[in-house]
Amino acid sequence: VCEEKRLAFNYTTQGELFVLADRDLIAQAMSNLMDNAVKYTPEGGAIRLEVKRGADSTVELIVADSGPGIPVEDRERAVERFVRLEQSRSQPGSGLGLSLAAAVAEAHTGKLILGDSGGPPARPGLSVTLQLPAV
């Protein structure tokens, strides 16, 4: 799918990191996050997947894109079920992807963290971190 939109894809990891988690739920959450990144990143943009050790004995699975991002004031609402922000209404979807990922994080005593991915102010991108307790 990245090739169809000519998206650059970069994956990095910090070696072997372990979490005690339901593989299917984590896979579904990550699938939703990657689907969103592909959906909202414009043609010729970039997506980054990073797996790293986080603070406080956590493992962070990060999906970052070069799309429009989500304004800070909308981020809390963006993880609610069936919420579609105004800028996303032109894209297909049900408004469940981020809420499902947040529920998976919570079920594993983790967190879902939304932030900018470091792009220019006009297109800051979105960085979504699925933070889980490390084993």
SS (H, E, C) 44-58: CCEEEEEEEEECCCE
Evaluate if residue 89 carries a pLDDT over 50.
Answer: no
What is the CB-side half-sphere exposure of residue 3 using CA atoms within 13 A?
A: 0
pLDDT per residue as tens digits for the range 3-20 = 889 999 999 999 999 999
The domain of 115 spans 8-133
Local confidence band at 91 (pLDDT 50, 70, 90 cut-offs) = low
CATH no. for residue 44? 3.30.565.10
Give the global pTM. 0.89
- 91 assigned to some structural domain: yes
Tell me, yes or no, whether 2 lies in a domain.
no
Residue 1 falls inside a structural domain: no
Domain total of the chain: 1
Alpha helix (H) residue ranges in the chain: 23-40, 75-78, 97-107
Checking if the pLDDT of 118 tops 60, the result is yes
- The larger pLDDT score, comparing residue 62 to residue 94, is at 62
Please list the residues that pair with 10 across neighbouring strands: 48
Answer yes or no: is 85 within a domain: yes
